[in-house]
Amino acid sequence: MIRPPCRWTASVSRAVRRAPSVARALHTSVARASYSSIDPADIAHFSRLSEHWWDEDGEFKPLHRMNRVRIEFMREKLDEMRGWDAAMADVLGKEVPPSPSPASFLSGLSMLDIGSGGGILTESAARLGACVTGVDASEENVKVATVHAEQDPGLRLRADPRALEPHSLAYVAATAEALRNEGQQYDVVTAMEVVEHVHDPAEFLRCVADLVRPGGMVFMSTMSRTALSYFLTIFLAEDLLRVVSRGTHRHAQYINPEELVAFFRDELRWFGPEAAQPTGRATLPDGAPVAPLPLRLQYETRGTMYLPVLENP
């Protein structure tokens, strides 16, 4: 999904299929002063598992396997947006900005990885050129992520999380709301497998939106609330195969992609008839307005499925 007025962002969802069910409470309102949407029980659960983050055949094996899928989706959507920007610059007679190579497609961008855990996505983003900050409410997770990054000479850790340095990373033990309250904003914000672990998804999504600069992009991944997702992620992965600790997932907290899209459309007005429109819209040499951003570039949801009994998603 891309934040207006410039454009909107892409959201990725681990959707399995659509099912008729009651939407989660995505329309609550709360006072923001010192509020946090985190679920203390979930933070404690993942803190207990923190030492296993970099065991690629252990508890977090699914996240390691999914990481390359997420990276490819991000690269594809950023390439599409850069292609659109280049085409617009060309028809308006402006200089076409150079595109980074696939190996550094995040170069020049500031990025926030919410719920960064052990740093699986955060490290990948730094290697791909981003100035990335990982934020996690678990101090144990941040310690594990920092130690792991320190052991890799190819990674550059920033002493100051606010410093802008390409190909670098920093970790902060805090909530996303704390960064929002400090006025922080980023070109790219990711929240992978996070929204299903917060107790107030509506406030969390508002916080995510506030952390994105106008024209920036949001990438999210979560699990759809379907019968199949219950079978795969809870009955099969937790209860039967025991490849994931019991209690990691709560099916009632899963969110369907159409619910996320509706929230950004109806509550945040990021797109749709009542979306904020850019001022001073550019026109072509003949005076005609430029074409609006295609809906596909305003947001997109995709589904993929991870089967615990298979090696790849």
Q: Is 70 annotated as a binding residue?
A: yes
Tokens found for residue 274: 């009542």
Report how far residue 34's alpha carbon sits from residue 25's, in angstroms, rounded to the nearest whole number.
21
Report how far residue 88's alpha carbon sits from residue 284's, in angstroms, rounded to the nearest whole number.
10
Q: Are 260 and 9 in contact (CB under 8 A)?
A: no
Q: Is 197 annotated as a binding residue?
A: yes
Q: Is 80 annotated as a binding residue?
A: no
Complete edge-to-edge strand list for the sheet that includes strand 110-114:
168-173, 131-136, 110-114, 186-192, 212-221
Q: Is 45 annotated as a binding residue?
A: no
**Which residue spans within the chain are E strands per DSSP?**
110-114, 131-136, 168-173, 186-192, 212-221
Answer positive or negative: Cα dihedral of 249, 251, 252, 253. Answer: positive
User: DSSP string covering 191-224, please?
Assistant: EET-GGG-S-HHHHHHHHHHTEEEEEEEEEE-B-
- Residue 99's CB: how many other CB atoms inside 10 A? 14
Q: Is 246 annotated as a binding residue?
A: no
Buried b (16+ CB within 10 A) or exposed e, 178-195: bbbbeebbbbbbbbbbbb
Report how far residue 245's alpha carbon sits from residue 239's, in angstroms, rounded to the nearest whole number.
9
From the number of C-beta atoms within 10 Å of its C-beta (0-12, 13-18, 19+), residue 200 rates as buried
Going from the C-alpha of 29 to that of each of 39, 96, 200, 233, 266, the distances in angstroms are: 17, 43, 9, 30, 14
Annotated binding site for S-adenosyl-L-methionine: 70, 115, 136, 192
Annotated binding site: 70, 115, 136, 192-193, 196-197
Annotated binding site for Mg(2+): 193, 196-197
